[in-house]
Amino acid sequence: MTDQPKFAQIKQHIIDKIRAGAWQENQRVPSENELSDQFQVSRMTARRALSELTESGVLTRSQGLGTFVASFKSQSSLLEIRNIADEVKERGGNYTCIVLSLESISAIAPIAIALGVEMDSLVYRSIIVHNENDAPLQVEERFVNPALAPEYLQQDFSQTTPHEYLTQVAPLTEARHTVEAIMPNEEICQWLDMFNEEPCLQVIRRTWSSHGIVSFARLISSGSKYRLGGHLTFKK
């Protein structure tokens, strides 16, 4: 860590505090002056660290109030975690997929926090388009903790889904997600074969096994082709 530039050391310090739970969502973090005193650096260096973490969504700044830990928009799941291939087959459809990417990447701050790993450490990333009857149904971008699924990159995801594989090697014990409507970018429109700009349904999901956080996934579907549902039973 001592070989890192000072602004990077400050960023890692903040990320470590958030990841350890010492700084909670919406909690105020030290100011530029406080960080410059603590790390014996200029205010400009401290400002760069806070600005870069703000730009990446880890922090949020409020004029006149300070800088705070951003909300990660996670909440307890009320929906059953299902394998999309099973959903398609249960509807009588034909499931196929296209693997667009399967690689190792360096974890930027939001991914590192989501997976509970060091910033810039290697994590696995996959991008897969799930099809129903040869028509794109959902784009899945998933980041995986290599420590819990070391052979992830060696899998043939045309034969099994990431969900199926991860359930086998790191059985699911907890999941949290947020669901929201988004406007897709050009790349998402291309992957989902969308010619008209329309809202998409985006699910951001983190999953845990008994040994830690397994994956962080972004699932995007055309709003006109996909919906989520659930059934809740309340005790009297």
Residue 236 is assigned to a structural domain of this protein: no
Dist CA 39 CA 223 (whole Å): 48
Position with higher pLDDT, 7 vs 176: 7
pLDDT at 231: 45
Amino acid present at 189: C
Same domain, 108 and 156: yes
Give me 153's structure tokens.
């990159």
Same domain, 126 and 218: yes
Q: Does residue 75 have a pLDDT over 50?
A: no
Same domain, 104 and 215: yes
pLDDT at 78: 44
pLDDT at 43: 94
Dist CA 219 CA 77 (whole Å): 15
**Over the stretch 5-19, which tens digit does the pLDDT of each residue have?**
999 999 999 988 888
Among the candidates 44, 69, 94, a domain finishes at: 69
Same domain, 155 and 84: yes
Position with higher pLDDT, 2 vs 149: 149
Q: Does residue 74 have a pLDDT over 60?
A: no
Smallest Cα–Cα separation from 50: which of 58, 39, 38? Answer: 58
Polymer length in residues for the chain: 236
Position with higher pLDDT, 4 vs 220: 220
Cβ atoms of residues 221 and 200 within 8 Å: yes
Domain limits for position 105: 75-222
pLDDT at 9: 93
Mean of the per-residue pLDDT values for the chain? 86
Same domain, 177 and 116: yes
pLDDT at 177: 83
Q: Tell me what the mean pLDDT of segment 119-139 comes to.
A: 94
pLDDT bucket at 1, cuts 50 / 70 / 90 = very low
Same domain, 15 and 121: no
Dist CA 40 CA 57 (whole Å): 26
Q: Does residue 161 have a pLDDT over 90?
A: yes
**Over the stretch 20-42, which tens digit does the pLDDT of each residue have?**
889 988 899 999 999 999 999 99
Indicate the range of 82-96, 142-156, 211-225 predicted with least confidence: 82-96
Q: Which residue has the tokens 């200029």?
A: 42
Same domain, 209 and 161: yes
